[in-house]
Structure 1
């Protein structure tokens, strides 16, 4: 199995890395949602089109491309709606027929954010019921809703009957507490299998973001223990600290291996591989982030240091789509 990225993938990875390096450093990482102008700039660079299927006017990016882009965003601790808006909703509307086709271009250009929700009952073109907390929901232009009654519908965010209240999440992003009260909805012609495939790609993106964040947090910890002195010596020279960092490195490399396996398996085996990766990486990332904060001492939990903000970002990512608990339940079923 060839795990090395191709030339085009390397070019995209380097482009994203340079873009983020110009905008994020230890003082600004995970300090809040990515500004709308930066999100649009990524769209103008063609990044979102790179990830969208050809049927949505994209370049047909698959699991490997999603993994590469998401890992770089995670490495910068960037707070973005990539997994749900671009990957999940983008692939749903691409496979959902003509009903959502006109949203493909605004999504690819970064001009529109799409929110994914589960809940509500659709009858006679109207959707009613609670959809719960939707990450990025206050910025969404349209919602892709997997209904309780089956099927997937599109609901425009400013349509009559759509009620949303802002909820600040732990990483500083703003979600929506979403409810529908007879809101007009348009059904998408998408099968349950296609919806599951889109969710799998989104969960792969979450795993990759977590792996990228783990790498950055560990780098920050290694740099800190080399500089912080106690008893006249860097604390990184103490065997107990070295052993702890070695365990964290093992968590990181195991997480990357699980991520790569999930991205490289056959399409018909991806669901199982992504679930296995999610079950491990969500817990491993949270453990690493917590240990990195502890290595920094009391300052680690403050907004002043990137590790404290990074922990909050990891905490949110590790809970999306049910987190490791939902993954273990799926594996046990």
Structure 2
């Protein structure tokens, strides 16, 4: 198992890191979703094309590229629709004639697709509730998995699409979506491609969590070195050192599971990603809570980055059922 990045992968990491460093710091990270202009700029840099399959005109980047990009997004606490728009919806529509017009726009950052689940498909019409859909207010189209497991593409401008705005805990906007006889096009998606898309989406989420954990640890260590109590920095107190050491252990264990999930053979990736989700989803939230407690009362406010990061981690750790769903899948 080769843990070293290639020259090209290192260039991608450095490019994304520089792009985000120009836009986010401790005072701005996790304060709101990435602006449409910045999202489009990432598309112009070729980042979305890198993560798009070759059959859809992309560069066919794999799990390692997904990990690299997503971890940097998590480290900067950039709130984006990367996991579901690019990795789930983008791969599902790849090579589907019904969705051909969306692929190029998605790669360029000019269009946004959202993933929804629910409803029944009868006579080429979709009816029923999809519940809360991330980025559902801004989505120009929806990839929908019906209750029967059929995958559909629905144009967001269809008169049968009903959306009600919902603000999520991290400040991003979602939508409560209902389909009232919305016209839908069936998507032909092989089971292997569907499994791969889900695995890469899960990998992206845990990579974002690992990036956020690294930022939380850095912020916390820096804070306890500066904060003085009884005439000395609280970092000199053994109990604080032990808590920071525990946070570091959680981060390194999570990073190891992330690396394993990205580097294993393709046929083992679904299980490896599920195992990573089962652990990282829980310890990321524990680490965020520890960081807030070590910052004191101000840690829960918007004034300090750790409070905003906690809310972002809370959302990411619960996506797609979080650690509970992952452990249930492993036990099945």
Residues in 2 aligned to 1:46 and 1:268: alpha-carbon distance in whole angstroms: 28
2:255 aligns with 256
- Indicate the residue corresponding to 2:146 in structure 1: 147
Mapping 1:63-212, distance limit 5 Å: 63-95=63-95, 97-212=96-211
Alignment RMSD, CA only? Answer: 0.7
What CA deviation, in whole Å up to 9, does each residue of 1:7-48 have, x standing for no partner? Answer: 111101000000000000000000000111000010011111
The residue number in structure 1 matching 2:269 is: 270
What residue number does 2:36 align with? 36
- What does 1:300-319 align with in structure 2 at a 5 Å threshold? 300-319=299-318
Task: Tell me the alpha carbon deviations over residues 214-264 of structure 1, each in whole angstroms, 9 at most, x when there is no partner.
Answer: 000100000000000000000001000001000000000000000000011
On the 8 A contact 1:115/1:143 being kept in 2, the answer is yes
Q: Does the 8 A contact of 1:225 with 1:235 survive in 2?
A: yes
Shift of 1:184: 0.2
Kindly state the Cα deviation for residue 192 of structure 1 after the two structures are TM-superposed.
2.9
- SS of 1:296's partner is helix
TM-score by length of 2: 0.99
Equivalent residue for 2:15? 15
CA contact (8 A) 1:135 1:174 kept: yes
The offset of 1:123, in angstroms, is 1.4
Q: How many pairs align?
A: 332
Unaligned runs of 5+ in 2: none
Give the equivalent residue in structure 2 for 1:51: 51
- Measured after TM superposition, the shift of residue 193 of structure 1 is 2.9
Hey, what does 2:61 align to over in structure 1? Answer: 61
Partner SS state of residue 225, structure 1: helix
Whole-Å Cα distance in 2 between the matches of residues 258 and 143 of structure 1? 31
Question: Which ranges of structure 1 fall in alignment gaps of 5 or more residues?
Answer: none
Instruction: Give the distance between the partners of 1:124 and 1:4, measured in 2 at CA.
Output: 52
Instruction: Tell me how far apart the structure 1 counterparts of residues 35 and 147 of structure 2 sit (CA, whole Å).
Output: 34
Q: 2:6 is matched with which residue?
A: 6
Q: Distance in 2 between matches of 1:124 and 1:52?
A: 32
Q: Give a deviation string over 1:99-152, Cα, whole Å, max 9, x none.
A: 112111110011111100111111121100111111111110100001112221
Give deviations 1:31-77, integer Å, cap 9, x for gaps.
00011100001001111101111111110011110010000000001
Checking the alignment, whether the CA contact within 8 Å between 1:117 and 1:144 is kept in structure 2 is yes
Give 3-state SS (helix, strand or coil) of 1:3's partner: coil
Q: Would the aligned equivalents of 1:107 and 1:113 in 2 still touch at CA under 8 Å?
A: yes
Q: Which runs of 4+ in 1 moved over 6 A?
A: none
Question: C-alpha distance in 2, partners of 1:87/1:190?
Answer: 14
Q: Distance in 2 between matches of 1:119 and 1:266?
A: 32
